[in-house]
Amino acid sequence: MINPISTELDSTLAEAVQALRSAMDYLPEGLIIADKKGRFLLCNRAARNLLGMESEPVLDSWPEVKGWFKADGITPYSYQELPATQALAGKALPEAEVFVRSSQCPDGIWLAVQASPLSNNRGEIHGSIVLFHNVTEKRQIDARIRMLTSAVEQTADSIIITDNKATIEYVNPAFESMTGFTSQEALGRTPMILKSGVHDDAFYRDLWLTIISGKVYRNTLVNRKKNGEIFFAEQTITP
């Protein structure tokens, strides 16, 4: 005899599980929940896309996952080293960057991965939850910033960066060598620390009006070093 109450509960539970799966598919982050053997219980749409599951046979467990590499982008993870496996051992992983290559993305992508163990009310670990998102573009931007920073640091030209109120936010080593002011002494002040007294107020007014109008200002300025010595500088000021 079929118990109508039990049937109704089963139906309600099935609907709740389906609602949860649908909600997980709207997450921008990849999410995989697995049991203690690494078998996937839930794998949302973002996870399938990021791991190339749309063009490959669908993976069912972490032991089947291949193409995960460590931070050097070369050394492959063994199953025992995967973030999910570490979580099953009771180790929470706040965040690690993993290089992932698949047939869908042969050039590979970088993922920021977080993993945590799942425990029951007795404190026993019965699974893992892994969250990840694509940080490839961020890494590329960071690499470009490092390259530009290196170029700015090494150039022989003095460089000053200010905010829109002319407060100095950065000076490069060439500025320190040329003016005698250290970075610590210059930050928070304005370029007027170099004022020589040679140029009148109208000169600086024209300079400032050119910049705030969005135009590049070019001219030879007479500046003063920290020790009082006068020097000439061909300056280009870009808004």
82 and 168, same domain (yes or no): no
> How many beta carbons lie within 10 A of that of residue 115, not counting itself?
23
Does a structural domain hold residue 144? no
Q: Which of the residue ranges 48-62, 154-168, 180-194 would you say has the lowest mean pLDDT? A: 48-62
- On whether the CB atoms of residues 20 and 26 are closer than 8 A, the answer is no
State both tokens at 82: 């995967």
pLDDT in tens, 122-142: 888 999 999 999 999 999 999
Does a structural domain hold residue 147? no
Q: What is the CATH number of the domain that holds 83?
A: 3.30.450.20
pLDDT in tens, 64-91: 888 899 888 889 999 899 999 999 999 9
CA angle 218, 220, 221 (to 5 degrees): 110
| The last residue of a domain, from among 96, 111, 138 | 138
State both tokens at 116: 């945590």
34 and 114, same domain (yes or no): yes
- Mean pLDDT of all residues in the chain? 86
Tell me the average pLDDT across 113-124.
91
At residue 2, the pLDDT reads 47
Instruction: Report the predicted TM-score, pTM, of the whole model to 2 decimal places.
Output: 0.68
- On whether the CB atoms of residues 224 and 191 are closer than 8 A, the answer is no
130 and 162, same domain (yes or no): no
DSSP state of 15: H
Does a structural domain hold residue 51? yes
Which is more confident, 95 or 170? 170
Does a structural domain hold residue 143? no
| Residue 89 domain boundaries | 4-138
Instruction: Please report, for residues 5, 56, 88, 123, 213, the alpha-carbon distance to residue 28 in angstroms, rounded to integers and kept in the order given.
Output: 37, 21, 24, 30, 41
159 and 133, same domain (yes or no): no
Does a structural domain hold residue 145? no
Does a structural domain hold residue 21? yes
| The last residue of a domain, from among 90, 106, 138 | 138
Which is more confident, 121 or 24? 121
What DSSP letter does each residue of 30-52 carry, written as one string? EEEEEETT-BEEEE-HHHHHHTT
Based on the structure, what is the number of domains in the chain? 2
